[in-house]
Amino acid sequence: MSALTKKRLLSITLLAGLFILIFAAVALAGDPSGANTGGVGDITAATAGQPTMDEIAAQVGKNKIGINFVWTLITGFMVFFMQAGFALVETGFTRAKHAAHTMAMNLMVFLVGAIGYYIVGFALQFGGVGALSAIGGTAPLNQEFAINGWGILGHAGFFLTSNGAYDVGVFTLFLFQMVFMDTAVTIPTGAMAERVKFSTVVITSFFIAMFLYPIFGNWVWGGGWLAQLGSKLGLGHGVVDFAGSGVVHSIGGSVALAGAIILGPRLGKYGKDGKVNAFPGHDIPMGILGTIILFFGWFGFNPGSTLAGTDLRISVVAVNTMLAGAVGGFVSMMIMWLKFKKPDPSMMCNGALAGLVAITAPSGFVNVNSSVFIGAVAGVLVVISVLFVDSKLKIDDPVGAISVHFVNGLWGVLATGIFADGTYGDGLNGVAGGVTGLLYGDSGQFVAQLIDMGVILVWGVGLSFIFFKILKATLGIRVKPEDELAGLDIPEMGVLAYPETTLRSSSLDRSF
Amino acid sequence: MRKIECIIRQNKLEDVKNALGEFGINGMTVTNVIGCGLQGGKTEFYRGNSYQINLLPKVKIEVVIPDAKLDQVLDIIVKNAKTGQIGDGKIFVTEVSSVVRIRTGESGEQAI
């Protein structure tokens, strides 16, 4: 740079600085404190500035629903971001030679899930839910197929169109519920990683998104028969599951369990002498980052399940979620540290996620000290379960999806029936009063939750077991052994996750 | 000409490389390697299952030098790679019959 250019640059900088000082000294006619922005003039009225009582009331109602829409949509976007968490956890805790395959499954399940849920899943789950007042009423969703008054499945809103579903409230509900469903779809990929065919996961994801998840979801959240156990048989409020320990996590975990059993373990996981071999994950920082993203997403998952930013219970739900996750991770860490001499990072992650899964169903209904207890039990359960599934049952679950989601999902459903303290849930499922668990005097609620657990076992594990059996016998679900040993990236995906660390063999690399 | 292959601790690479550079050795090939020796391995746990870490990470430096410099180069490597603990590594020396510089076609010691 010549001396002249330097001199010019210097004078331009000085001149700019001088201008900024002059502007800063002049009082501008805006509203820097915000005191004068927003007021009576902003209320929609026939005579501007002089709204009638009715016009004010209309505006207040609009605001309430507006807050609830924004709350539900933004927490839904946070739940969508949990896809990134799942992708990182599952890829970090598996081996590098399959990384493109494992990571791509986690994107694909969303693509497939969104389509399947749009076509038929949403209509089956929520087609008969009725008018949800928190999001301004979802009037078109009024078609529930029932037998003797017991709801079985909904049938309004196919393609988000049928029965007049072109409705802002319906669309808000769809977005939130689609990303929830997607969480269930992405759980099995972790348990089946490193040996499952990519095409198998495509078919499985359609199956979960279109049938397995929505029908069970209808029974609990869509006004179906499990939700009616309270109003019809007097079992508490019927099955309650605030944000889906059962509906989302146990169902996703059921598919993970059935899938891992029928696929069989990864080659070399179990030695002929009975030794259980460790396959350490290839990128522990990636797995931990994924866990933190999932934790963040859970602040959308649980508090968002009010579907209402104007429901001030959201603060209690958020703190319950935070503490159960923290305690779950801490307890797992300490157990591993004492038992195996070091605080295994992958089990710290599993512990935190186990606490979060377990608090998902109770988070709206229990007090904070119960949440801490529920999280602590989850931290113990997940360690026992991981070791038991791995060494005793010899079911190969590379990332611990069965123990985190299936086992702790069931614990969350049960814990709701024990610890719900009766302060929240008035009118839920058509039953007056707060949801009350066994410890606070309602054994009926406890029985309803037990029934829920039984149905999860039969519908979730049973049906997915049959599904995978049929798929295995027809199209096959497992890759060829030589592909599994070499790594699935090239045989299944055609591209390596990390080509720079592999000798180049492509003709494209020749000329460089 | 001689080829020196030395296997050293990863954290000694900078010291050895700089010392060789100061001595006037500018050409070398460095590789990340894993291997085993007297140091043995250790047992760790991953998700409750034990596994052996027998092959430990080391760095391998390969350098080709004129015969006359051999003793000095060995001294430099030993001095800079040594901690006195098990696991410091080894040096292997072999004869090299010819060297060709690909760019110019030169051969022999001036091609090093």
* Tokens (6 digits) for A383: 């360690």
Do residues A125 and A218 lie in contact, with contact meaning Cβ atoms separated by under 8 Å?
yes
Query: Is residue A456 over pLDDT 50?
Result: yes
Do residues B96 and B103 lie in contact, with contact meaning Cβ atoms separated by under 8 Å?
no
Question: Which distant-in-sequence residues (6+ apart) come within 8 Å of A236 by Cβ?
Answer: A229, A230, A417, A431, A435, A436, A442, A444, A445, A446, A447, A448
* Tokens (6 digits) for A413: 């459903």
Nearest one of A424, A359, A344, A423 to A390, comparing CA atoms = A344
Chain B residues bordering chain A (beta-carbon distance below 8 Å): 44-51
Q: How confident is the model at residue A507 (pLDDT cuts 50, 70, 90)?
A: low
Q: Which helix (H) or strand (E) holds B61?
A: strand B56-65
How much is the average pLDDT of A472-495? 95
The pLDDT of residue A505 is: 52
CB contact under 8 A, A277 and B49: yes
The pLDDT of residue A512 is: 44
The pLDDT of residue A2 is: 77
Q: What average pLDDT does chain B have?
A: 93
DSSP structural state of residue A502: S
The pLDDT of residue A24 is: 74
In angstroms, the CA A202 to CA A107 distance is 11
Q: Which helix (H) or strand (E) holds A85?
A: helix A53-92
In angstroms, the CA A247 to CA A456 distance is 8
Do residues A175 and A113 lie in contact, with contact meaning Cβ atoms separated by under 8 Å?
no
Question: Looking at chain A, which residue has its C-alpha nearest residue B49?
Answer: A278
Domain count across chain B: 1
* Tokens (6 digits) for A463: 């049906």
B44: chain A residues, CB-CB within 8 Å: 342
Q: Which range has the worst mean pLDDT, A2-6, A315-319, A326-330, B104-108?
A: A2-6
Coil, helix or strand at residue B45: strand
In angstroms, the CA A425 to CA B100 distance is 83
Coil, helix or strand at residue A295: helix
What HEC string does A14-66 produce? HHHHHHHHHHHHCCCCCCCCCCCCCCHHHCCCCCCCCCCHHHHHHHHHHHHHH
DSSP structural state of residue B63: E
**One-character DSSP codes across A105-171:** HHHHHHHHHHHHIIIIIHHHHHTT----GGGT--TT---EEEETTEEEEE-S-GGGTTTT---HHHH
Coil, helix or strand at residue A341: coil
B32: chain A residues, CB-CB within 8 Å: none
Q: Name, of A35-44, A113-122, B18-27, the range with top average pLDDT.
A: A113-122
A344: chain B residues, CB-CB within 8 Å: 45-48
Q: Smallest CA–CA separation between A489 and chain B, in Å? A: 24
Domain limits for position B64? 2-111
pLDDT tens-place string over residues A117-174: 999 999 999 999 999 999 999 999 999 999 999 999 999 999 999 999 999 999 999 9
B49: chain A residues, CB-CB within 8 Å: 276-278, 390-391
Do residues A320 and A368 lie in contact, with contact meaning Cβ atoms separated by under 8 Å?
yes
Residue B11 sits in a domain whose CATH number is 3.30.70.120
Q: Is A396 on the interface with B (CB under 8 A)?
A: no
CB contact under 8 A, B45 and A391: no
pLDDT tens-place string over residues A79-109: 999 999 999 999 999 999 999 999 999 999 9
Question: Looking at chain B, which residue has its C-alpha nearest residue A350?
Answer: B47
Do residues A497 and A90 lie in contact, with contact meaning Cβ atoms separated by under 8 Å?
no
Coil, helix or strand at residue B33: strand
pLDDT tens-place string over residues A337-393: 999 999 999 999 999 999 999 999 999 999 999 999 999 999 999 999 999 999 999
Query: Is residue B51 over pLDDT 60?
Result: yes
Share of chain A above pLDDT 70, in %: 97
- Domains of chain A, each with CATH number or no CATH: 63-489 (1.10.3430.10)
Instruction: State the pTM of this model.
Output: 0.91
A280: chain B residues, CB-CB within 8 Å: 46, 51
